[in-house]
Amino acid sequence: MRTHWLPLEMRLAPHLDAVKSAGPVRQQYALLVNPFYPKDPHASYGKHVLTPTLALTSIAASTPAHWDVEYWDENLLQGPPPCDPVPAVVGISVHLTFAKRAYELARWYRERGSIVVLGGLHAISCPEEVAPHADVLAIGDGVQLWGQILNDIDAGTWKDTYRADFKRPYREDPAPRRDLLKRNSYLTTTSLIATRGCHNRCGFCYLSTKGLHMPYLMRDVQQIVDEFRQDGQPYAVFTDNNLGSKPEYLRQLCQALRPLEKIWSAAVSIDVADDPALVREMALAGCTGVFIGFESLQNDNLTDARKKSPRTEDYARRVELFHRNGIQVNGSFVLGFDHDREDVFETTVNWIEENRLECATFHIMTPYPGTPLFRQMEAEGRLLHTDWSKYDTANVVFRPRHMSPEQLAEGYAWCYQRLFSNASIWRRRPQDWRAVPAYLAMSYLYKRSNRFWHLLIKHQLTARAWRPLVELTRRRHLHFRRRLAARDGVDAGRSSSVVSAGV
């Protein structure tokens, strides 16, 4: 298998020992940290800086007014987080893939006098593991807890553990603090979230984690429109697990976004294509791309995963519906299901090419702790280890049923190698020749420019590199929308004529 280029900065976290000294502790100053995680050499490095995380910027918005707050993302390759002065409080998000780094940061700041608050999904799924590394453990909705924790620290009455559920009306959450972000370091700082939760409860998904009860909640449509407009970016990415879980809400959102004449992309389930009129509404509102969790092309795999999905034989027709409306499709595929055999890799990539998916993301089946899949694998003795740093969907951490771990790892790498090849990029070009130049530019910048991405990220040039392509895409889509609207008008006129004629 071909060796992939991977600079040390993309593989190793910044050295904390390189920081010679730290300043005094500054009271009522909080720092929120997104820890470093190693990058997958098979995938694009660019995906890590397309949009910023919303979790910590949303938490930052609930900071009491008399506190100063900053945000630091170690994945922007700007070195270790600041420590002069030392923050009175450091909040760190803990995910299983970078739990070790989160604990290193927690120890380092605690030694310098900071009160460390640890939260995130890993704190929900494995609180007994996370707790010893924290002064304060935040379990659940951090937006609700953060302000309460800081106020209790002010009063000297803070507790070891705070808990909050996710049942509070989502519209009550403040808008994220995008002013804390390095705007030049991302493709767009307008990452939006309109809904929380998903109507699916797939056994392998983090939403099925024991102890995580996240009902499907929606924010007011006008809140989303205002955030999109106020951030001043031409492109937004919705980070919802499934923006299409409530079709009528999505329809209302699309109608409100349409006058902005901006573009956006979102994750939706394939069943949003049950209603072709809704897909058309998405296109007219500026949707240029969807991320769809196909997961598998075998129905038995989807049944085992408890995923509510149309039959896989109908996937191609639905992809064509998106394409007909000028919407690109980024498909997500999980490799290593119990019904997968060695032919799954070639079968999946061939289908992607035949249906001209503009992009695809591959994931090795990963049993996250606390999920039904993890409990199943543990009961069957199929877990290879519990080194959480390898639970990143790029490493094999279990024993597949119909192939060896080595075969699964090699097949995963082959899928990316084939997808990122010149031949595959060309085979998947759009049928509309007017869309081909932008597609090729996106494909080569996103998929085949990892050396370039390393420099863009390090020197905070991501926005500058992408901005011309984004604006070209926005203008092209506006022209496409006008043609689409005109076509709808013609079709409506024909229908009216038929009715008038008494047919």
Q: What CATH number corresponds to the domain at position 19?
A: 3.40.50
Angle between helices 315-324 and 276-284 (to 10 degrees): 30
Pair 148, 256 in one domain: no
The contacts of residue 421 (CB under 8 Å, 6+ apart) are none
Sheet holding 25-34, edge to edge: 68-73, 25-34, 86-93, 115-119, 136-140, 161-164
Pair 135, 53 in one domain: yes
Pair 200, 147 in one domain: no
Q: Measured between alpha carbons, how far is 1 from 503 in angstroms, rounded to an integer?
A: 64
pLDDT-derived band at 204, boundaries 50, 70, 90: low
pLDDT-derived band at 268, boundaries 50, 70, 90: very high
**173 within domain boundaries:** no
Q: Measured between alpha carbons, how far is 342 from 345 in angstroms, rounded to an integer?
A: 7
**170 within domain boundaries:** no
pLDDT in the model for residue 182: 94
**487 within domain boundaries:** no
Pair 298, 365 in one domain: yes
Amino acid letter, 329: V
pLDDT in the model for residue 211: 59
pLDDT in the model for residue 365: 95
* 496 pLDDT more than 50: no
Mean predicted confidence (pLDDT) in 426-451 = 90
Q: Tokens 């980024």 label which residue?
A: 330
- What is the maximum alpha-carbon separation in the chain? 85
Pair 231, 311 in one domain: yes
Sign of CA dihedral 206, 211, 215, 220: negative
Amino acid letter, 335: L
Pair 275, 136 in one domain: no
pLDDT in the model for residue 31: 98
pLDDT-derived band at 167, boundaries 50, 70, 90: confident
Q: Using one digit for the tens of pLDDT, what is the confidence trace for 12-53?
A: 999 997 666 677 999 999 999 999 999 999 999 988 898 998
Do the beta carbons of residue 296 and residue 321 sit within 8 Å?
A: no
Amino acid letter, 148: Q
Pair 248, 385 in one domain: yes
pLDDT-derived band at 216, boundaries 50, 70, 90: confident
**501 within domain boundaries:** no
Pair 364, 330 in one domain: yes
Pair 200, 309 in one domain: yes
- The pTM assigned to this predicted structure is 0.91
The CATH number that applies at residue 335 is: 3.80.30.20
Q: In 3-state terms, what secondary structure has residue 268?
A: strand
What mean pLDDT, rounded, does the chain reach?
Answer: 91
Cα within 13 Å of Cα(200), Cβ side: 25
Do the beta carbons of residue 217 and residue 322 sit within 8 Å?
A: no
Angle between helices 462-500 and 276-284 (to 10 degrees): 130
Amino acid letter, 146: W
**393 within domain boundaries:** yes
Mean predicted confidence (pLDDT) in 247-263 = 97
pLDDT-derived band at 306, boundaries 50, 70, 90: confident
Q: Using one digit for the tens of pLDDT, what is the confidence trace for 322-378?
A: 999 999 999 999 999 999 999 999 999 999 999 999 999 999 999 998 888 999 999
Sheet holding 359-364, edge to edge: 191-192, 235-238, 263-268, 287-295, 328-335, 359-364
**502 within domain boundaries:** no
* 494 pLDDT more than 80: no
Mean predicted confidence (pLDDT) in 409-420 = 96
Task: Give, in order, the Cα–Cα distances in Å from 74 to each of 12, 48, 67, 87.
Answer: 11, 11, 23, 16
Return the beta strands (E) in 124-169 as ranges: 136-140, 161-164
The backbone torsions φ and ψ at residue 25, rounded to the nearest 5 degrees and listed phi first, read -75, 130
How many CB atoms neighbour CB 129 within 10 A? 16
Note down the domain range covering 144: 8-164
Do the beta carbons of residue 144 and residue 168 sit within 8 Å?
A: yes
Q: Bridge-partner residues for 34, per DSSP?
A: 73
Do the beta carbons of residue 96 and residue 368 sit within 8 Å?
A: yes
pLDDT in the model for residue 489: 65
Do the beta carbons of residue 374 and residue 365 sit within 8 Å?
A: no
pLDDT in the model for residue 4: 65
pLDDT-derived band at 210, boundaries 50, 70, 90: low
pLDDT-derived band at 502, boundaries 50, 70, 90: very low
**What is the percent of the chain with per-residue pLDDT over 90, rounded to a whole number?**
76
**490 within domain boundaries:** no
pLDDT in the model for residue 435: 87
What end-to-end distance do the CA atoms of the chain give, in Å? Answer: 64
Do the beta carbons of residue 86 and residue 112 sit within 8 Å?
A: yes
pLDDT in the model for residue 196: 84
pLDDT in the model for residue 217: 87
Q: Measured between alpha carbons, how far is 448 from 463 in angstroms, rounded to an integer?
A: 18
pLDDT-derived band at 198, boundaries 50, 70, 90: low
CA 438 from chain center: how many Å? 23
Pair 157, 194 in one domain: no
Q: Measured between alpha carbons, how far is 434 from 436 in angstroms, rounded to an integer?
A: 6
pLDDT in the model for residue 201: 60
Structure tokens at 218: 């929606």
Pair 143, 198 in one domain: no
Task: Give, in order, the Cα–Cα distances in Å from 304 to each of 202, 295, 298.
Answer: 9, 12, 10
Task: Give, in order, the Cα–Cα distances in Å from 55 to each of 34, 153, 226, 246, 312.
Answer: 9, 22, 19, 23, 33
Q: Using one digit for the tens of pLDDT, what is the confidence trace for 68-102?
A: 999 999 999 999 999 989 999 999 999 989 999 99
* 499 pLDDT more than 70: no
Pair 383, 470 in one domain: yes
pLDDT-derived band at 492, boundaries 50, 70, 90: very low
Counting the structural domains of the chain, the total is: 2
Least confident span in 247-251, 401-405, 483-487: 483-487
DSSP 358: S
Q: Measured between alpha carbons, how far is 17 from 28 in angstroms, rounded to an integer?
A: 26
The contacts of residue 201 (CB under 8 Å, 6+ apart) are 207, 208, 306
Q: Using one digit for the tens of pLDDT, what is the confidence trace for 277-301?
A: 999 999 999 999 999 999 999 999 9
Mean predicted confidence (pLDDT) in 256-285 = 96
Phi and psi based region of residue 211 (left: phi greater than 0; alpha: psi -120 to 50; beta: remaining): left
**391 within domain boundaries:** yes
